[in-house]
Structure 1
Amino acid sequence: MAGRLAKIFKGDLTLWVILIFLSLISLVIVYSATGKLAYREANGNTMYYLIRQVLFILVGFGIMLFLVNVLPVTLYFKISPVLIGITIFTLILAIIQYKLTGSADNKETSRSLNMPFFSFQPAELAKISLIMYAARLLSKAQRTEEELKIAFYWITGVSGVVCFLIFMSNFSTAALVFVTILILMLIARVSFKYILSLVGAGIVAVFLIYGAATAFPDSIGKAGRIATVKGRIDDFVHGDNNAVNGTTQADYARLAIFEGGVLGKGPGNSEVSNYMEAGYNDFIYAIFIEEYGFVGGAFLALLYLILLFRGVIIVRRCERTFPAFMVTGLVLLMTFQAFINMAVSVGAVPVTGQPLPWVSMGGSSMLFTAASFGVILAVSANNQKNKVLAEKSSQAEQPAVGETQNEDQAL
């Protein structure tokens, strides 16, 4: 039985264990945090969102198993330029759709692309496709500094276009992707002066956006997140003006963490989630700490640190640069996103709207996270396969014991 499962669930065993723990945590905390949402949207059926989450997790595992068992790792190298083209097209299409059908009351329309039978966030596709594209260019440019310079310009240009389009609806995701690509280029030995110049340009861009936010017309503000970026930074530095009229979501998050203490209130005993609008998504870590305390919160953070550690091990075992760079980017992206979500919950950084990977309530973000895990596990499985083939080849080249003895006697 174990042998059959091992043939299906290929790749790093520790990663599969982490996924199982994260899945169990997701189910218990989403069920607990969606009580208010269930009464508002599902006629009081508190099981609705639990069943929905189970389905998303099962579909996610199906995506992972498909990527691990069916698609070869070399395919990602070939399709990465196509994925970038699809990403840019869908990002533009989402903006156009928002302009034609969106309204000020529908804040999520600009992030999502609504199709006839489903909707998804193109920014989630951009996370994976841009990392694959950058990994492709960097892997082909490892021979000379001139090749790395050319790769830097191409990656910067394409990343700039993609991140600008993402910024039109989601500044935090654009910044997250930008930083991840930056670190990936640094790891790939791109000259530090080029990286430093890009960092400087990014800092200048943020200050310009912040300083000029009030000068943009309302029409531009609705298309992008310019005013939102300035507002969230001001709220973080100077305090939220909305707190005068009542408790804000960030205040509720801090209250949940305070109420949780060391050991928490226990499963299903969260009270703060009844007052929060995003307790099942952006602030799910705070609700988890309220129920499971500092100990539970530390354990959840540890799972993401183990993910980072296993990612490093997988990268070190790669024989080729493309899968190594691809896994590096994907692991860094998920780890950064996880700790940004946690930092928002504890009030360490401004509110960003980043979900906790594989824990927050399901949607297109969860399915693309599953795809990221699937790619990482596929590279891990490929490493294991190459190791087995190398060992067999080494054994085949070694002479038999009797032959060795005869050779020694002849000498």
Structure 2
Amino acid sequence: MKFSLGNIIKGDRTLWVVLFFLSLASILIVYSATGRLAYREAGGFTAHYLIRHSIFIAIGFGVMAFLVNVVPVKFYSLIAPTALIFTIGLLILALIQYKLTGKATPRSLDLKFISFQPAELAKLSLVMFGAKMLASRQKTEKELRTAFLWVLGASGLVCGIISIGNISTAAVIFMGMMGLMFVARVPLKFLGLTALAGILMALLMYFSAPIMPKSFGRLQTFKQRIDDHIHGDKESEEGTTQADFAKLAIFEGGLIGKGPGSSDVSNYMEAAYNDFIYAILVEEYGVVGGVFIALLYLIFLFRGVSIVRASSRTFPAFLTTGIVLIYSIQAFVNMSVSTGLVPVTGQPLPWISMGGTSMIFTAAGFGLILSVSYLNKKDDKAEQQEQPVVVNVPDEDQELK
């Protein structure tokens, strides 16, 4: 078979184009935003993080191509329970390592040869498990209730562990799972009670934070960030917070921006290449560039909806739903933090913020979506081939006339 790009780039072509433009924006902004980091960590070699990030993006595209060409979608249904148990084990191991080593947070797990955040794997394994449970129990309300309890229990356990080190990531994942259950026709009374319980839990966390011991440090951070957003940050009076720098970057960007590589604010921000990368993007490319990136994520969301609607099988449809919702919510949160719409929280911008293994896990998520879109095309083609060909044969009497 003759080699061609079309034989590798399978699935939704629009989604591939969106990922290409996101990759291009990511490389440009990461290079601009890592100048300070390069002087501090790489001896002033400013291209260090550009090369590193470009390599991870290339690996990510390789992962997507591998998944869409080699791994069948039904494989994810088979491994879903095992993947979830494995993920829970990694999350617990990260907590144990955090307690034994005294790390700042239990977000990452250091295995000597590799360090990564188990929460990134949890996004995929939890969605696979939820999609499997919901897809296999769609006939009666009793089956849906059983599936709801399984998915709610798994989501509560996983997100509860993650929240010890990263409340915002736990919230993003849980909201994505709620959206998945809504699409899977779980009765609204169950979802409503769950949402009410979530609101009550958030209120409990907020008001109990002052009396909790320091070992519950994320609760104090959770409350402080909400208070700072509502009442204003005392440090903001001196203009020294990350949120202040983000607002300054957006203000200086104006309509068309200062130009590629012309960011000044990134030299003063600790998270310019990660949590606040959208602000640096607007500083260099203006409101026009910021709207363009937001539009790309909207296209991603709408293409995800199209893939779900085109799917004739429940598991692939639910798998796509969960992943698309989680990444869309994550992107919205990141952009909202940079623009000051929501309290400051640490959420990277999917496929744009600098990352290592997190980029690979994100690529795997995109690969699953592309695999489902490719499966839809194969199903449509097979259905068309199975349809009988109707030949209009003239009636004999009519032909004599």
Question: TM-score normalized by structure 2?
Answer: 0.96
AA aligned to 1:259 is E
Are 2:265 and 1:239 equivalent residues in the alignment?
A: no
- Greater CA drift, 379-388 or 235-244: 235-244
What code does the residue aligned with 2:22 have? Answer: L
Cα shift at 1:158: 1.1
Consecutive unaligned residues in structure 1, runs of 5 or more: none
How far apart are the structure 2 equivalents of 1:410 and 1:385?
43
* Shift in Å, 1:234: 1.1
Aligned to 1:205: 201
In the other structure, the counterpart of 1:157 is: 153
How do residues 351-390 of structure 1 correspond to structure 2 at under 5 angstroms?
A: 351-390=344-383
2:15 is the counterpart of 1:9 = no
Distance 2:259 2:80 in 1: 45
Q: Which residue of 2 aligns with 1:340?
A: 333
The amino acid that maps onto 2:12 is: D
Residue 169 of structure 1: SS of its match in structure 2? coil
Summarize deviations over 1:263-316 as a string: whole Å, max 9, x none: 000000000001100000000000000000000000000000000111111111
1:183 aligns with 2:179: yes
* Alignment partner, residue 71 of structure 1: 71
1:346 deviation in Å?
0.3
Equivalence map 1:6-405=2 (5 Å): 6-103=6-103, 106-107=104-105, 110-221=106-217, 225-244=218-237, 246-394=239-387, 397-399=388-390, 401=391, 404-405=392-393
Distance in structure 2 (CA, Å) of the matches to 1:3 and 1:346: 45
RMSD: 1.5
Q: Is the 8 A contact 2:33 2:273 kept in 1?
A: yes
Given that residues 239 and 245 in structure 2 are in contact (C-alpha distance below 8 angstroms), is that contact kept between their aligned partners in structure 1?
A: no
Q: How far 1:245 moved relative to its partner?
A: 5.2
Worse-matched range after superposition: 303-312 or 243-252: 243-252
1:355 & 1:362 partners in 2: Cα distance? 9
Give the 3 Å change call, closer, same or farther, for CA 246–260 of structure 1 in structure 2.
closer
Asked if the contact 2:134/2:184 (under 8 Å) is kept, the reply is yes
2:209 and 2:220 in contact (8 A); partners too: yes
Q: CA deviation at 1:220?
A: 3.3
After TM superposition, give the deviation of residue 244 of structure 1 in Å.
4.4
Tell me, in whole angstroms, the C-alpha distance in 2 between the residues paired with 1:50 and 1:180.
32
The answer for unaligned runs of 5 or more in structure 2 is none
Report deviation, 1:240.
1.4
